[in-house]
Amino acid sequence: MSPARATRPRKRLWRDVSERALDRCGRTLGRAVRSAFVPLAVILACSHFASSATGAEERPNFVVIFADDLGYGDLGVYGSERIRTPHLDKMAAEGMRFTDFYAAAPFCSPSRAAILTGRYPVRAGVPYVLFPTESTGLPQAEITVAELLSEAGYATAAIGKWHLGWPKPFRAHRHGFDFFFGLPYSNDMLKWEPVEIRRAQHAFWELPLMEDDTVVEAPVNQHTLTKRYTERAVSFIRENRDRPFFLYFPHTFPHNPQYASEEFEGRSPHGLYSDTVEEVDWSVGVLLDTLGELGLDEQTLVVFTSDNGPTRGGTRWGKRSSGGTAGGLRGRKGNTYEGGMRVPAIFRWQGKIGAGTLARDATSILDLMPTFAELSGEEMPRDRVIDGRSIADLLLGKAELAEAPFFYYFGVQLQAVRVGRWKLHIRRTELPPHSASLWYLQNDDLFTRHHRLQPEPELYDLDADRGETQNAAADHPDVVERLDTLARQFDHDLQRDKRPQVFLDSP
């Protein structure tokens, strides 16, 4: 355990840790603990003893590589003919590739809340994109996968883009990560100049590269980001080669504005977007090579996916902005058509996951935390609704996955549901309550455009029409009714269960 790890301010999972410890130490000691109020240290010691007794060496490492705004069609193995991704293609050949894997939101912050908690973003208290001057973030009451694994003895690191709140209580190293290195939010949230009309997404200060609460460089040289993240990730893996670790690696790119290092910028014939994806692919190769060199291939589950669909290229960032492709899916980042939320997903765990396997099950980033919990022998929190489910049996080839609904939320608004082959965009005749998000306080029109009304339902057969081009609602009124009822009941329950957004008095 590093000194930094020992002194890190950490929120304790009091109830869960105690319960796990009691389970492991047996009922007799449990009664003694309850009656005598034995200090938490004893409980933790017992818990860790039990962990080691079950064989820490059997618990896999977890590496999650999370691209930002990478489209469904932007990897070679997903059909791209313009972007070269040999390392991700090889990773897919060595593992399992998912055709129907979803982000749980069509934009950044909510998607990150979902991947770390296993809960729909609105349930976890992060329904919208967070901006630097906002005083809200991922509530402390949420339990992250990093906290779960950290309490179980894993080394944990978040390297890359955080974007779950700029004020200190919301930062990564207060949500279960031993350390954070990277950008606190998106790379387009730059310093605004007084002469500009203030944009919600801008800050009053330069874009900082951070190490926990320390500014390493501001404004950061964005050309260096992917390479520096990768170097830190490699160091983290090397330092923790002899113990279980969890590396959460959310890349900054290919989010706009796009920057790559000298070796990659301008190398691709298809522009900056391709350059940045190819550098991310290089980074994946470096990580996989490191695991191989250390003999950790068969002890490490590596996951690669994206936080939402591709953005458009645009004029705002000039040559620093080019867009991706959703690979024939309708829509893109910012909406709940497939292109906004269906993303590439590759899982590799040599010796455990069949090489070159394909999964067509509707799955999502919500499933990562429950899956990691099962594979590490930990229990998910029992005091809250978890929306994801473990897909461990699917990964390990032990059992098929039962069909389960997936709900497409835009902020607080449920817009669509998928069950099996059918996806219903539900009828929406009223806007949801106005959000406190800075996004909307300064852009009234944006709220209406985002939370668009849907006068009539749209039903799509994703098996036959994944591009959502033929509305089949009129031909299948029974399916429309079944999915509509399911969606409204789910949303009714969720809206009563969601955690309120937490706002600090001052950032």
The yes-or-no answer on residue 451 being catalytic is no
CB of 308 to Ca ion, least distance (A): 5
Helical spans, DSSP H, in 240-331: 272-293
CB of 107 to Ca ion, least distance (A): 6
* CB closer to Ca ion out of 106 and 457: 106
Q: Pick the closest to residue 254 from 308, 182, 215 (CA basis).
A: 308
Q: How far is residue 412 from each of residues 10, 123, 128, 254, 335, measured CA to CA in Å?
A: 29, 9, 8, 26, 13
Q: Pick the closest to residue 300 from 373, 374, 375 (CA basis).
A: 375
Q: Which of residues 292-321 bind Ca ion (CB under 5 A)?
A: 307-308
Q: Which of residues 83-122 bind Ca ion (CB under 5 A)?
A: 108
Q: What 3 state SS string does 370-381 have?
A: HHHHHHHCCCCC
- The token duo for 459 is 């039903």
Q: Which of 87, 163, 251, 450 is catalytic?
A: 163
Residues 6+ apart with CB under 8 A from 41: none
Q: Which residue is closest to Ca ion by CB?
A: 108
The answer to whether the CB of 370 falls within 8 A of the CB of 145 is no
CB of 310 to Ca ion, least distance (A): 9
Which residues sit opposite 246 in a β-bridge? Answer: 62, 156
The answer to whether the CB of 435 falls within 8 A of the CB of 411 is yes
The yes-or-no answer on residue 108 being catalytic is yes
CB of 58 to Ca ion, least distance (A): 35
* CB closer to Ca ion out of 201 and 308: 308
Q: Does 74 bind Ca ion (CB under 5 A)?
A: no
* CB closer to Ca ion out of 316 and 360: 316
Q: Pick the closest to residue 169 from 10, 19, 53 (CA basis).
A: 10
CB of 253 to Ca ion, least distance (A): 10
* CB closer to Ca ion out of 20 and 255: 255
**x/- site string to Ca ion, residues 44 to 73, per CB under 5 A?**
------------------------xx----
Count of residues of this chain found to bind Ca ion when the rule CB under 5 A is applied: 5
* CB closer to Ca ion out of 124 and 395: 124
Q: Which of 25, 87, 108, 255 is catalytic?
A: 108
φ, ψ of residue 212 in degrees (nearest 5): 50, -120
Task: Give the H/E segment covering residue 156.
Answer: strand 155-161
* CB closer to Ca ion out of 314 and 397: 314
CB of 331 to Ca ion, least distance (A): 14
Q: Tokens 């279980």 correspond to what residue?
A: 244
* CB closer to Ca ion out of 154 and 166: 166
φ, ψ of residue 277 in degrees (nearest 5): -65, -40
CB of 215 to Ca ion, least distance (A): 23
Residue 81 exposed, middle or buried by CB count within 10 Å (0-12, 13-18, 19+): exposed
The contact set with Ca ion (CB under 5 A) reads 68-69, 108, 307-308
What positions carry a catalytic annotation? 108, 163
